[in-house]
Amino acid sequence: PPGTQVASLDQAHAFRCSAVLPRHKWALPVMWRDSIWPDHTFPFGLCTSGNVQGTVADAFVDILDAHDIGPTPKWVDDFEFFRFP
């Protein structure tokens, strides 16, 4: 409707905010300066990272809905907030 406003939120470091379970760290090594280190957060671009962040985003939208904030469409780490007149 006329007067509707929308704001967009892109969680810039979404994947760096999602911790990896200790038992899974063996599968996410990082090589740096000829040494191998475990990664403690999900690397951006890992094919399974999107699902992990999607789960966090779903919980965030559920919390917003519980407080009558919405609708809040999302795509992984991008959110759209609408305000209707």
Q: What is the pLDDT along the chain (85 residues), one digit of tens a residue?
A: 888 888 887 776 665 666 778 888 777 777 888 988 877 776 655 655 556 667 777 888 888 889 888 788 877 677 888 888 8
Q: Pick from 11, 12, 45: which is nearest to 30 by CA?
A: 45
pTM given for the model: 0.52
